[in-house]
Amino acid sequence: MNSSLSLNSRRSSVSGRRGMVATSQPLATAAGLEILRQGGNAADAAIAIAAALNVTEPTSTGLGGDMFALFYDAQTCQVTALNGSGRAPAGLTRERILRAGLSPALPAHHPYTVTVPGACAGWCDLLERHGRLAMSAVLAPAIALAENGFPVAPITAHFWQAGARQLQTALNGHELTLNGRAPQPGEIFRNPGLARTLKTIANGGKQAFYTGQIAEAIVTVLQQAGGVMSAADLAEHHSDWDESISVSFGEYRIHECPPNGQGLTALLAFNLLEGFDLAEMAPLSTERLHLAIEALRLAFADSRWYVTDPQFDRIPIVELLSKEYAAQRRKQINPRRATLDQQPGGPFASSDTVYFCVVDEMGNACSFINSNYMGFGTGIVPKGWGFTLQNRGHNFSLDPQHPNRLEPQKRPYHTIIPGLITRADGSLFGPFGVMGGYMQPQGHLQVGLALLSDGLDPQAALDLPRFCIDVDQGQQAGAVLLEEGIPWRVAAELAALGHLVKPVSGWGRAAFGRGQVIVRDSASDTLTGGSDPRADGLAMTLV
């Protein structure tokens, strides 16, 4: 472990005009640029990046997990949302879990937490609707990285080491280790199993994943581990195309994917803060941070109750995102005191991850997120295929009255969310996102305010120190983590307002997520991008 590694950034934003990629891994950025150079568009490059990240950052993402994407079509100025998340097995019931003595919550890495991996279908569906190139061409860079090996980036090596013990005990987890240990920074890692997986998908598409040998291996290893996923669960999986959900914020419109993702949280918070004169407050001032924290507490109180699979419960999206509801909820914010026990409102009239983004030369944009959840997920590997299976089902509630209660073939509350901003005339402002559990909507709000209210460039917006409300286990009243760089005076003043503040530095800064931003100037078509200093990656443009 490189204990001297600094997470501070002094880099500038990157600018260009012929297309841009921003990712958490330099090799993944290179893969996306290679596809753009071959004539691919933002969708093609996005899949190439997702696959390359599966190779280079398996600590965060992979084909055993899920994905969501927002795609901006430059010709129509329309934003479409792709839900590539999987469902619980048909045989997994609350009663089964209670009989196994696993209440009040599923253990984080239990095989029951494995939902159907949705990433592969999502990749294929995005390419089919919006891409130009064949899957074989798009996956070629990742296949080469997996076969030939790559030097592991420093921050990735740190988190690989943190997950090594889990891989040592999980079924076939050794496939993601070097003789049982994590690779060191700069050490070459090869993954022939994942190369085999990617080649199989390149030749046979999503059917090769969900009905072929890969599916058989997934079912076999989960049965060995004590899970209940069946071949039918995999064969019946499908992605969903939706309209984005959005709110206006001044002269901009902020887009998120609809539930079962938590993008609703960010939109609720933006709506609440639109009623304050944020431009008169410094970004790291006590007044600004207090209002943002309070807005997010209210937003989480609503989203942690209302976000669920819309196929199982009605979610009042229109009502929740109305300006009238925001005005009603805004009255709950006390500018001079923290309120730690916010409850869900009633809006009815009369409820670890990789993020990256791409903008191509034509002005199409893809905001994309892919995740295992909790690092390596369960750490369980289908034998010989080189990827771990997610534990996204850990987010289900075992409360039978909760909208997000566990039910067979249901999608759980999902933390991963891509974001995208357009201007009032429908033109692209840019894709943006911050990865990292319940930090994600908090990061969307903070980075979005830095871009839209403070006029910061993408890199400066990402460099700005952040706060994170600890809302794990649904406790939106939790402590407020304050990143190194937020003034001590501000921390003391927030504490005096009633916030339980906890300063965080060093490797603990992982709690504040890792983001990417690309902004497009509508007059000159210039692209400006930034990449989070809390990760290994960078933004880069074509020459």
pLDDT of residue 285: 97
Residue-range definition of the domain harbouring residue 520: 242-353+415-541
Residue 348 reports pLDDT greater than 80 = no
In a shared domain, residues 225 and 248: no
Residue 149 reports pLDDT greater than 80 = yes
Q: Quick check: is 408 in a domain?
A: no
pLDDT of residue 1: 32
Average pLDDT in the 273-296 region? 96
In a shared domain, residues 334 and 449: yes
Which amino acid, one-letter code, is at 260?
N
Average pLDDT in the 456-478 region? 83
Confidence of residue 345 (pLDDT cuts 50, 70, 90): low
Q: Which stretch of DSSP H or E encloses residue 79?
A: strand 78-84
Residue 467 reports pLDDT greater than 70 = yes
**Gap between the Cα atoms of 65 and 51, Å rounded:** 12
Query: 501 vs 289, 416, 426, 511, CA distance in Å?
Result: 12, 25, 40, 14
User: Nearest-CA neighbor of 445 among 291, 335, 306, 337?
Assistant: 291
Residue 4 reports pLDDT greater than 50 = no
Q: Quick check: is 144 in a domain?
A: yes
Tell the burial category of 421 from Cβ atoms under 10 Å away from its Cβ (0-12, 13-18, 19+): buried
What stretches of 236-279 show up as alpha helix (H) in DSSP? 263-273
Q: Quick check: is 420 in a domain?
A: yes
- What are the CB-based long-range contacts (under 8 Å, 24+) for 211-214? 211/235, 214/382, 214/385
Average pLDDT in the 75-81 region? 97
Summary mean pLDDT of the chain: 93
Query: 322 vs 251, 509, 542, CA distance in Å?
Result: 17, 34, 41
Residue 5 reports pLDDT greater than 90 = no
pLDDT of residue 339: 85
What share of the chain in percent tops pLDDT 90?
86
Q: Which residues pair with 397 in a beta bridge?
A: 405
pLDDT of residue 2: 38
Q: Quick check: is 311 in a domain?
A: yes
Q: Quick check: is 2 in a domain?
A: no
Q: Quick check: is 19 in a domain?
A: no
Residue 476 reports pLDDT greater than 70 = no
How many domains does the structure of the chain reveal?
2
Residue 31 reports pLDDT greater than 50 = yes
User: Nearest-CA neighbor of 102 among 234, 227, 221, 230?
Assistant: 227
pLDDT of residue 352: 65
Residue 350 reports pLDDT greater than 50 = no
From the candidates 80, 353, 388, 528, which is the catalytic residue?
A: 353
Average pLDDT in the 358-368 region? 97
SS (H, E, C) 202-221: HHHHHHHHHCCHHHHHHHHH
- Looking up tokens 């357009």 gives 422
Confidence of residue 8 (pLDDT cuts 50, 70, 90): low
- Going by the DSSP 8-state scheme, the letter that residue 100 receives in this structure is T
In a shared domain, residues 139 and 221: yes
Tell the burial category of 317 from Cβ atoms under 10 Å away from its Cβ (0-12, 13-18, 19+): middle
In a shared domain, residues 269 and 170: no
- Going by the DSSP 8-state scheme, the letter that residue 98 receives in this structure is H
Q: Quick check: is 318 in a domain?
A: yes
In a shared domain, residues 303 and 282: yes
Residues 223-256 have pLDDT tens digits of 999 999 999 999 999 999 999 999 999 999 999 9
Query: 60 vs 64, 160, 370, 484, CA distance in Å?
Result: 11, 9, 8, 24
CATH number at residue 456: 3.60.20.40
In a shared domain, residues 380 and 498: no
Confidence of residue 472 (pLDDT cuts 50, 70, 90): low
In a shared domain, residues 427 and 531: yes
Tell me if residue 422 is catalytic: no
**Gap between the Cα atoms of 264 and 283, Å rounded:** 23
In a shared domain, residues 70 and 91: yes
Stated pTM of the model? 0.94
**Gap between the Cα atoms of 146 and 3, Å rounded:** 28
In a shared domain, residues 296 and 223: no
In a shared domain, residues 343 and 257: yes
**Gap between the Cα atoms of 436 and 356, Å rounded:** 13
Q: Which stretch of DSSP H or E encloses residue 247?
A: strand 245-249
In a shared domain, residues 146 and 293: no
**Neighbouring C-beta atoms of residue 436, cutoff 10 Å:** 24
Tokens representing 260 are: 């079962």
pLDDT of residue 342: 81
Residues 509-536 have pLDDT tens digits of 888 999 999 999 989 999 999 999 999 9
Average pLDDT in the 423-448 region? 95
Q: Quick check: is 291 in a domain?
A: yes
What share of the chain in percent tops pLDDT 70?
96
In a shared domain, residues 384 and 343: no
